[in-house]
Every structure is written in C-alpha cells, then in structure tokens.
Amino acid sequence: MRRIPTLLLLLLTLAAMPAHAAEDLVSGLSTDLIQIRSDFTGTDIVVFGAIETFDPGTPAEDRDIVVVIRGPEVPRVVRRRDRVFGLWVTRRQIPFTGLPGYYFIASTRPLDLVASADTLERFELGPSRLTADTDVPASPEEIAQFHAATVRTLTREQLYWENTNSIEFLSRSLFRARIPVPSTVPSGEYRAEVYLFHGGTVVSAQSTPLFVDKTGFERELYDFSNEAPFSYGLVAVFMSGALGWLGFALFRPRG
C-alpha cells in the first residue's frame, strides 16, 4: 500500500477539524525565496506565528508547537562495505526514493512528550520517522538498517536537523523558530509546516511554500548539466585536460 503524502495528510486533517479550529494558528516566513550564488555560505530563516484564539484557561503544558521544513525529494543510494582480503568492497546497496533532501524540525518539547508515537509517525515528525520507497527486494529489518544509515549520513552532513525545546515564545500566543539553511541544500520547492497540538492532538496546521534557487553562473551551469549532460561531460573532460596541460607547461622543470 502506498503511503499518504504528508501534505495530503495535512489537508485531510485540516478538513476534519471544526471550522473555528482551522483559524487558531497563523504563521509566516521571514523570506519565501533563498537565492544561492557562488558566495553563498548558508543563511537562517525565521518561522513566526501566533495562536489567535488561544484560551488563557488552557494549561500551558497542553499546548505545543512543532515546526517542520521539508526539502524536495532527492534519490539516495546507501551502500554497505565489508573488508575482503584487506580491501573495502561494496557488498550491498539499496536505493531510496521519497526522502527529502533537507529536513528540519523544531518543537517546544521533546517529540515523544508532544504526541503519541502513532501521531508522530502519521505526520512523519522526526528524521527517523520519514518514510522512503525502494524497489530492491530486502527484509524489513535490512531496509530499516539502511534507512537509519541514510538518516545518520544526512544528519552528519547537516541536511537533517532535530532541535527540540527551540521554539521561542515572545508572549503567550506569539512564537518564532530560527532555521539554519546550509550551503549544501538542494534547490527546489520546500514546505514550511507549523502544527499546533493540544493535549497530543493536532488542532490546527499551516503549510507555506519556500523556494531555494540557484542564480547567476551557478544557475546556467546547473541548467547546462541537466539539459545537455553529454555535452557537459565533454566540456568538463576538455577543461580538465587543458588545465592539466597548462599546469605542466607552467611548472615543468627548465633544463
């Protein structure tokens, strides 16, 4: 059975809420476009919002905010290497599709205190709960091991973040969260999702698009490599050979 996309699940949840509950949460982004240039070293964006109809009588511990940034899906191939006669050899590999190329989650408390495990898995809240597809026959245990290895790699590359207790409340209803965007993020359309939980149940949610795009020479080079990969490869080989010959001509010993 195919998994339900998170955005569709979010829409279904909103449709099932009472009419007044869908207006409880209002959120926005400090910017909806990040442009990557040659000097781009990363940046921060801010997700901010307000709980418009927050009931002062509701206990604070029953109210939680979760902010998620999901990047475009990027195929990943996970390889397992074993040592054979002193050499490291790839013995097994599993390709995954459906994983976001960037994933950030912030919350007011640790996620296991915000909602039940079933709810967290349903909305894919947390890097370890992200689902992925593969067409390679393998046991569920092996797929889980390779999936966990993928998440660890993306976390080490600072493309996956989980930051609990990091949402700042400016008042009882106003909040904000700061999201790091490293220079290695993939370009494409992102989604900023904000969830309002009461007593472990989603009572309101919003999804806002965010775009990351390359500009200038990087954009032209990216388009060239995707639209004409064969020509791009020939140019790369030619430039590599030309630079190698130029280096030899400049620095060769003079007799």
On the question of pLDDT at 11 being above 80, the answer is no
Domains and CATH numbers, the chain: 6-214 (2.60.40.1930), 216-255 (no CATH)
Q: Are 50 and 23 in contact (CB under 8 A)?
A: no
Highest mean pLDDT among 38-42, 59-63, 128-132, 136-140: 128-132
> Which has more confidence, 143 or 84?
143
pLDDT at 129 over 50: yes
The pLDDT tens digits of the residues spanning 217-238 come to 555 555 556 666 766 577 667 7
Q: What is the DSSP string of the chain?
A: -PPPPHHHHHHHHHHHS-TTGGGSEEEEES-SEEEE-TT---EEEEEEEEETT--TTS-GGGEEEEEEEE--B--EEEEEEEEETTEEEEEEEEEEBS-BS-EEEEESS-HHHHS-HHHHHHTT-SGGG---B--S---HHHHHHHHHHHHHHHHHTTSEEEEET-PEESSSSEEEEEEEE-TTPPPEEEEEEEEEEETTEEEEEEEEEEEEEE-THHHHHHHHHHH-HHHHHHHHHHHHHHHHHHHHHHHSPP-
Q: How confident is the model at residue 195 (pLDDT cuts 50, 70, 90)?
A: very high
Q: Which residue has the higher pLDDT, 177 or 40?
A: 177
pLDDT exceeds 60 at position 58 = no
